[in-house]
């Protein structure tokens, strides 16, 4: 039965597969949240590309790569301002940092130290594998 047509009554008394059922309302909230997140992330991607930054982003996690500590502080300040004022989102200050790639973890990975940079499984993640 297509969505929007009358269906059988569910356990809570509301008809299932209708726009007024609790399941449909929760699905609409989730879709709206994902759409807002995707839209905001797309705007962030465009802004980072416009500024010429090298970055990695997965969902709401983002790493921006710059050449110096000073540049990192400047970029972090500017991007934080963009996220809070333009996108109207909050930045988690506890998770945000300016640091060398070897000192940070992203999606369970980090980078090795040495003349040849390699992607490695982060120390915290290696115990879970």
Per-residue pLDDT of 68-92, as tens digits, reads 999 999 999 999 999 999 988 889 8
What does the pLDDT read at residue 128?
A: 54
C-alpha atoms less than 13 angstroms from C-alpha of 108 in its C-beta half-sphere: 5
Percent pLDDT > 70 in the chain is: 66
**Is there a contact between 94 and 102 (Cβ–Cβ < 8 Å)?**
no
Residue range 104-126: mean pLDDT, rounded: 80
Q: Is the pLDDT of residue 112 over 50?
A: yes
For residue 119, give the 3-state DSSP assignment.
strand
């Amino acid at each position: 039965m297509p969505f929007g047509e009358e269906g059988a009554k569910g356990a809570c008394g509301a008809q299932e597969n209708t726009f007024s059922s609790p399941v449909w309302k929760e699905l609409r909230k989730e879709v709206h949240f994902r759409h807002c997140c995707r839209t905001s992330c797309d705007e962030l991607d465009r802004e980072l590309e416009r500024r010429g930054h090298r970055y990695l982003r997965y969902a709401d996690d983002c790493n921006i790569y710059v050449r110096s500590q000073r540049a990192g502080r400047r970029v972090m300040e500017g991007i934080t301002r963009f996220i809070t004022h333009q996108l109207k989102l909050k930045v988690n200050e506890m998770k945000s940092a300016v640091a060398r790639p070897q000192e940070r973890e992203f999606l369970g990975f980090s980078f090795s130290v040495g003349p040849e940079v390699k992607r490695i499984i982060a120390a915290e993640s290696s115990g879970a594998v």
